[in-house]
Structure 1
């Protein structure tokens, strides 16, 4: 029986023995001892991500889903359609307008159209939680605050532009239709409030809905809350007949969203309360508070 033979350790290949030598097959240089450079360059360019990339991603998402086209399409239909119908009815009445600005005729269309932007704002955030797409979004962009900021920027710009174009078109049509019927010619300040001011207010209302959708994470629930916030104060105020509740009734009426919308047309539904540009600052403050809560909850809760 043969005795076991001891194994002699083999010497390292010559290309491994010398630091910095080249591989015999590929000719690639090996790093010296202690070096962290592996000699590999990725064919995929490595770019530090920023807010612009998140905005581009959200723009792709918001313009590629059907809900955007449907809600914005119905919004334009309501604003322009009801605006034209109101203008035709007033133009055929006798007298049409007695020294009043025709810009206020766009109020009803924008009030109903704002429901569409509320719906779109909620769906921009809450729908991703319903489908589970939010997990993919957060994997692609781990900075949660950046994702919410990108959604807010894209939505606000889309809502503002669509509202501005629609409200301006209706305003020009009303002035053209009623110019010779005793209507007052709007001043520059009235034009600014009825177009830019109104568009900013409605866009901020939709932005508030986006924040509520991020907080609630449920589309139907968030839409119900926002529609209730728009209509409930005015409806409740109308049914407060008690004298002891007069102060509460006046406050609900003056600060209701329909009344704040009417202020931009210089046709306030109440004789006191906010005036001028006050409604814009009120909705801006409410939106800022909602977004502060949305950012805080987004960082703490699981997706």
Structure 2
């Protein structure tokens, strides 16, 4: 009796192929073009999961709250005349100034750290549009810093208003400048740090440049005693970063015809736009 033939193996499903000459494998998974939203999601995942964000923004919050509380406690315990409404809000100036150093550091690290670790190659491979990568980093960083700084500035102002008896309450415009205006100023300053980090591509070097930009003009002005340098000293006092920041609180360090009102935002914003333009240009001209 003859043995029956073995059952034939089940036919295997062949992967779909594209018809036509030179056709290759076609994935059954739908493929779509990447867009800015994908880059934003990627950068948001990066910035909220790296330790540098937690440390820099955490220290910024501690500085703003701690120094703001200490300033309010010192003024409240003194026997001096109660401050006016605008002077009351300016008690948060020193905490914001020191906190801005943390924001600048984070802005630089947002991109320069990827150059240091080599992760920038993976980023540029995953997203071939370098402009899209830098734009996504700038948008995510600016949004995060602006929201957090504005909330902390508002919280510090409320705490100080509750602790210190003032001669009159601040106006609505003064509150707006001391919260939203300060948040915009610090976020733009951090964005400038991101642009410098893109240009320099080295974390320590870019942070040093930014700290020098913030503090060096004021320090130089304090040591210019010669009368021949009076105009230079006055310009450094009026246009240094601390002087422009305190203008948003209704005060001035220079005492002359320096920036007033919202002009500090236009000045820092203009410098940031120029630096970002240079960053976009060089990013497309250089190899990673």
Offset of residue 29 of structure 1: 10
Q: Which has the larger radius of gyration?
A: 1
Counterparts of 1:25 and 1:256, CA distance in 2:
73
Superimposed CA distance per residue, residues 166-216 of structure 1 (whole angstroms, 9 cap, x where no aligned partner): 1000001111112xx243201010011000001000000000000000000
Look up the match of 2:222. 238
Distance 1:296 1:29, change over 3 A: closer
For structure 1, the 5+ residue unaligned runs are 1-23
Offset of residue 268 of structure 1: 1.1
Match of 2:42 among 52, 57, 65: 57
Match of 2:142 among 144, 147, 156: 156
Offset of residue 242 of structure 1: 1.1
Offset of residue 45 of structure 1: 1.9
Matches within 5 A, 1:275-294: 275-294=260-279
Counterparts of 1:111 and 1:131, CA distance in 2:
30
Aligned residues: CA RMSD = 2.1
Name the SS for the 1:276 alignment partner: coil
Counterparts of 2:25 and 2:18, CA distance in 1:
11
Name the SS for the 1:172 alignment partner: helix
Runs of 4+ displaced beyond 3 Å = 24-32, 35-41
Matches within 5 A, 1:151-300: 151-178=137-164, 181-271=165-255, 272-300=257-285
Distance 1:26 1:143, change over 3 A: closer
Q: TM-score, normalised by structure 2?
A: 0.91
Counterparts of 1:29 and 1:277, CA distance in 2:
62
Q: TM-score, normalised by structure 1?
A: 0.87
Superimposed CA distance per residue, residues 136-183 of structure 1 (whole angstroms, 9 cap, x where no aligned partner): 0000001001100000000000100110111000001111112xx243
Q: Does 1:135 align with 2:121?
A: yes
Counterparts of 2:95 and 2:14, CA distance in 1:
74
Look up the match of 2:130. 144
Distance 1:238 1:46, change over 3 A: same
Distance 1:38 1:302, change over 3 A: closer
Please, which moves more after superposition, 90-99 or 52-61?
Answer: 90-99
CA contact (8 A) 1:31 1:39 kept: yes
Match of 2:82 among 82, 91, 97: 97
Distance 1:48 1:238, change over 3 A: same
Counterparts of 1:287 and 1:206, CA distance in 2:
9
Offset of residue 25 of structure 1: 8.6
Name the SS for the 1:224 alignment partner: helix
